[in-house]
Structure 1
Amino acid sequence: MKIFTSALVTETNTFSTFPTTLRSFEELGIVRGPVADDVLSDVGPIVKQWRRLAAAHGDTVQEGVYAIAQPAGIVEAAAYRQLRGEILAALKQALPVDMVLLFLHGAMVADGVDDCEGDLIAAIRAEAGSACVIGVELDPHCHMSNTMATQADAIILMREYPHVDYEARAVELFELCRAAAAGATRPVMAVADCAMVGFYPTTAQPMRGLVDRLAEVERLPGILSASYVHGFPWGDVPDAGSKVLVVADGDRALAEQTAQELARALYRARSALQPRLESVAQVLDPAPAGPFPVILADAGDNPGGGAPCDHTALLAALLQRPALRCAFGMLWDPEAVAACRAAGQGAQLRLRIGGKAGPASGHGLDLDVTVHGVAEQHFQRAGQLHDPLGSAAWVRCAGVDIVLVSRRQQTLSPTAFTGLGVPLHEAQVIAVKSSHHYYAEFSRLSSNCHVIETGAALSMDFARLPYRRRSMAFFPAVANPIPELA
């Protein structure tokens, strides 16, 4: 068989004032043709798995265009048109193909296109023809549209949050699609809408149990795959929200029935699934007795959801508690990094940190700091991910070690600190810019983890998000929007 693969990945926060441009994709690198395993964060390992499986079957792989951008605001129309056009041009050169495998996010919104993934899949279907099997791997924080579900043959979502299973899901997608292309199965999909907006880490109950049930469902006769669509709360589009996707073998009624059963289980847990954020005072006052380190997550300023990553409220709270040894990072501030690099290691200077990107950034802090470390090319490593962070600096102020970076990215790994020399083992409190992806690596240091309310950009008061385009008939804005699921 001949297989075409490609990727276009970004998550659009429609409330963000930062546009996503072609340069946003170029920052991480746009690969045209074969992609190395160690580039483009998650893309390389996924393509490696598809290559490996194809070789085992004696198939050939034509690799197209791969582009990924850090989450931000709406994608500029010209940028989307260019990347879409390049993917389609690469597909045309590869035709005819038996399978198309795509790695997409699912919550990409461009100026004039609410559903970029659905639009792209439909265009690929038009080029590749009805006989071609199209499979798509999506992030669970996606908007599951009708176009996606009708134009693709099979869609599989990452199951875990943090997303530690993206390679496993890529393998599952390949095997499902190849069986369909060989005529052994006939996948059909059904989607059930739960009328919910939420935030669902899979490391804690009740979401852990709900996710574990998916494996049981997939062992039922006729079920090929089942996925929970978490949805991306900060995307104001009609398709936003939590859903369930089921792929069955030729039996659409079975797919629909199973999707409804899983949707009912998610819906009945809706109150227990609401996020429980804490204040700094609740966690640190009086001074905690341990276990150490205490890990604080600034979910509101998570750049992985499109936030600026230079909000300073949590840092200010740590500075007010000098009795605690703290580490804080990563804060996006290219100007402060440049000042530290110019001053050099060991320098003492007055530095304005954070609060620079816009209204959602809060206020900058004027601090007397000592520069303890600088790096021209800093990175963090999480699992197989080698994540470049640009130039960076480690400064200390009043017992707080602060990591500043020039590339906007959430904190995924302790190496974001230790790679600059920060003595993380001495920290009683570690504060990170992340919602939950930090947990995969930092929970190895401590189970004493807390999500902190800082008043930053990504509000989890979902009922009060300023939606204009999606229906407000969802939980928690409405207590019981689908009575038949209760």
Structure 2
Amino acid sequence: MRIFTAALATETNTFSPIAIDKRAFEASLHAKPGQHPATPTLCTAPITVGREVCAREGWTLIEGTASWADPAGLVARATYEELRDEIVGQLHAAMPVDAVVLGLHGAMVAQGYDDPEGDLLSRIRAIVGPEILVCAELDPHSHLTAKRAAAADFFVYFKEFPHTDFVERAGDLWAIAVDALKGRVKPVMSVFDCRMIDIFPTSRQPMRGFVDRLLALEKSELGLLSLSVVHGFMAGDVPEMGTKMVAVTDGRPELGAALAERLGRELFALRGTFMVPQVDEKQAVDIALAAPRGPVVIADVWDNPGGGTAGDATVILAELMARGAGGVAVGTIWDPIAVQICFAAGEGAQIPLRFGAKSAPFTGDPIDRRVTVKALRRGAEMAFGDSVVPFGDAAWVHFEGIDVILNSTRAQGFDPSLFTALGIDPARRKILLVKSTNHFYDSFSRIAARIVYCAAGKPYPNRPAETDYRKAPRDIWPMLDDPWGQAPTPPSGRT
């Protein structure tokens, strides 16, 4: 067997002012054929797992390029087309192949392309023809379009949020692909539109129990190969934005359709109950200061670089400063210019520094303080499960009982190694401020005395019913209370 594999992934917040070009991919991951490291990134596990599977089976794995950029705004048209054409050209050169196994994200949007993954998959299908297996692993915070579903045999999505299972799900993808190539199964994919958009953390109920049921069904239901919830991505203004339920069966589309609809309607019945309760910055600081011991982790959920924002908001930090909080460590505030100034000054320097709040309105005001540059690191990295996440050149600055990590490559806070990479012991701090919606939870919950989810400022379109979408469907919840029977009303100013 000859199997072609490649990866092309980013998550696009179409409301973000931060454009993505080739340099953004190179800053995170751009690995030419055969050059992908042994450690996977979030969306490239099909390559690393594929190496193990093909070695075991005695098959030939032909690796194409793997590219990943941290979430931001629209991908430049020329950048997307260059990366797409690179992979398409590699597939042409590799023909004939028996299968194509891809790592995608599913929420990429490029200038001129609402559905880049659908465009890429359609081109791949045109090359290999209708009989060759085409499959992919994707992030659930994505858009499942009719175009990409028609071009692929099946998809497998991460089940967990935080996405601690991306390597396991790549294993599931390959297990189905191997059985299909050996003639043991015939994967068929069924999709149900849940007519909603929501956020589904699996670190709490009811989503924890729902995902556990999916895993149990995969083991017990005869003919069922895989179940996935496509959460959707509310910051992506595209025509097919929304939550979907996916079932992959062994040649039993009627079973898949029934399961997908039953489970999808169960999700809809629970709408609005999934997300962790959030407080504003004043309440968050109240809770942290009153806690008898630390560390108290405050998650700045809506200034999350993992959702495409800059990660430079200062709203919560300013509140901590105004209240005289000490024993605080902040990881991170994205400010490449401030990082350059700190590197020029050197470790131990005491300098006046302005940092943060440069990217967008409602992110607070820049911080002006005289700081001590405590540590500097080139190419800093943190852990995320089996992966390593770069956050660029970084500086640790200290002032008035507060430690702040400034970074040059945007990345959300996944793991306490974010702090230890600069020499800060997070377990010895009273308050840790991280920028993440929920990916921080698995690792930080192991050291936290308490976790507080804080909605501060407005850098992220987090209220779909109020968001000024131009392309996204308006006949879904929460835009409509009853999307199954109620006609959508155009937003103010639109006809």
TM-score w.r.t. length of structure 2 = 0.94
Matched, 1:171 2:140: no
1:225 is matched with: 226
Instruction: Provide the secondary structure at the position in 2 that maps to 1:189.
Output: strand
1:418 is matched with: 420
* CA–CA separation in structure 2 for the residues paired with 1:358 and 1:49: 39
Instruction: Provide the secondary structure at the position in 1 that maps to 2:12.
Output: coil
**Residue 270 of structure 1: how far off its partner (Å):** 0.6
Question: Compared with structure 1, are the counterparts of its residues 222 and 431 closer, same or farther at alpha carbon in structure 2 (3 Å cutoff)?
Answer: same
Unaligned ranges ≥5, structure 2? 487-495
* CA–CA separation in structure 2 for the residues paired with 1:425 and 1:446: 8
* Aligned partner letter, 2:298: L
* CA–CA separation in structure 2 for the residues paired with 1:258 and 1:375: 50
Instruction: Provide the secondary structure at the position in 1 that maps to 2:272.
Output: coil
Instruction: Provide the secondary structure at the position in 2 that maps to 1:301.
Output: coil
Residue identity over aligned pairs, in percent, reads 40
2:196 is matched with: 196
Aligned residues: 484
8 Å contact from structure 1 (residues 389, 405) kept in 2: yes
Report the more deviating stretch, 23-32 or 330-339. Answer: 23-32
Matched, 1:247 2:248: yes
8 Å contact from structure 2 (residues 285, 320) kept in 1: no
Instruction: Provide the secondary structure at the position in 2 that maps to 1:463.
Output: coil
8 Å contact from structure 2 (residues 15, 461) kept in 1: no
Question: Compared with structure 1, are the counterparts of its residues 44 and 136 closer, same or farther at alpha carbon in structure 2 (3 Å cutoff)?
Answer: closer
* Aligned partner letter, 1:203: S
Q: C-alpha offsets along residues 99-136 of structure 1, whole Å, 9 cap, x if unaligned?
A: 10000000111111111111111110110111110111
8 Å contact from structure 1 (residues 223, 247) kept in 2: yes
Return the match for 1:343 from 332, 342, 345.
345
* CA–CA separation in structure 2 for the residues paired with 1:252 and 1:235: 30
Superposition pairs for residues 400-479 of structure 1, below 5 Å? Answer: 400-446=402-448, 448-479=450-481
* CA–CA separation in structure 2 for the residues paired with 1:423 and 1:249: 50
1:325 is matched with: 327
* CA–CA separation in structure 1 for the residues paired with 2:22 and 2:362: 23
Report the more deviating stretch, 287-296 or 81-90. Answer: 287-296
* Aligned partner letter, 2:237: D
1:64 is matched with: 64
2:309 is matched with: 307
2:489 is matched with: none
1:281 is matched with: 282
8 Å contact from structure 1 (residues 25, 67) kept in 2: yes
* CA–CA separation in structure 2 for the residues paired with 1:177 and 1:476: 37
Instruction: Provide the secondary structure at the position in 2 that maps to 1:271.
Output: coil
**Residue 401 of structure 1: how far off its partner (Å):** 0.8
Aligned residues: CA RMSD? 1.7
1:206 is matched with: 206
Unaligned ranges ≥5, structure 1? none
8 Å contact from structure 1 (residues 291, 446) kept in 2: no
8 Å contact from structure 2 (residues 45, 167) kept in 1: yes
* CA–CA separation in structure 1 for the residues paired with 2:284 and 2:27: 37
8 Å contact from structure 1 (residues 311, 456) kept in 2: no
* CA–CA separation in structure 2 for the residues paired with 1:27 and 1:281: 35
**Residue 438 of structure 1: how far off its partner (Å):** 1.0
**Residue 238 of structure 1: how far off its partner (Å):** 1.0
Instruction: Provide the secondary structure at the position in 2 that maps to 1:359.
Output: coil
* Aligned partner letter, 2:253: R
8 Å contact from structure 1 (residues 38, 385) kept in 2: no
1:115 is matched with: 115
Return the match for 1:371 from 370, 373, 396.
373
Report the more deviating stretch, 317-326 or 151-160. Answer: 317-326
**Residue 381 of structure 1: how far off its partner (Å):** 2.1
Instruction: Provide the secondary structure at the position in 1 that maps to 2:374.
Output: strand
8 Å contact from structure 1 (residues 139, 157) kept in 2: yes
Question: Compared with structure 1, are the counterparts of its residues 447 and 256 closer, same or farther at alpha carbon in structure 2 (3 Å cutoff)?
Answer: farther
* CA–CA separation in structure 2 for the residues paired with 1:43 and 1:19: 20
Instruction: Provide the secondary structure at the position in 2 that maps to 1:472.
Output: coil
1:90 is matched with: 90
Instruction: Provide the secondary structure at the position in 1 that maps to 2:409.
Output: coil
Q: C-alpha offsets along residues 238-295 of structure 1, whole Å, 9 cap, x if unaligned?
A: 1111110111111211111000011011011113124522123223326323452111
Report the more deviating stretch, 202-211 or 375-384. Answer: 375-384
Question: Compared with structure 1, are the counterparts of its residues 39 and 29 closer, same or farther at alpha carbon in structure 2 (3 Å cutoff)?
Answer: farther
**Residue 447 of structure 1: how far off its partner (Å):** 5.5
Q: C-alpha offsets along residues 370-413 of structure 1, whole Å, 9 cap, x if unaligned?
A: 22111223221233322222211111122111110111111111
8 Å contact from structure 1 (residues 278, 451) kept in 2: yes
8 Å contact from structure 1 (residues 38, 44) kept in 2: no
* CA–CA separation in structure 2 for the residues paired with 1:183 and 1:413: 42
Q: C-alpha offsets along residues 433-474 of structure 1, whole Å, 9 cap, x if unaligned?
A: 111111121111126212111113114222111111112222
1:259 is matched with: 260
* Aligned partner letter, 1:182: K
Question: Compared with structure 1, are the counterparts of its residues 120 and 68 closer, same or farther at alpha carbon in structure 2 (3 Å cutoff)?
Answer: same
Superposition pairs for residues 94-105 of structure 1, below 5 Å? Answer: 94-105=94-105
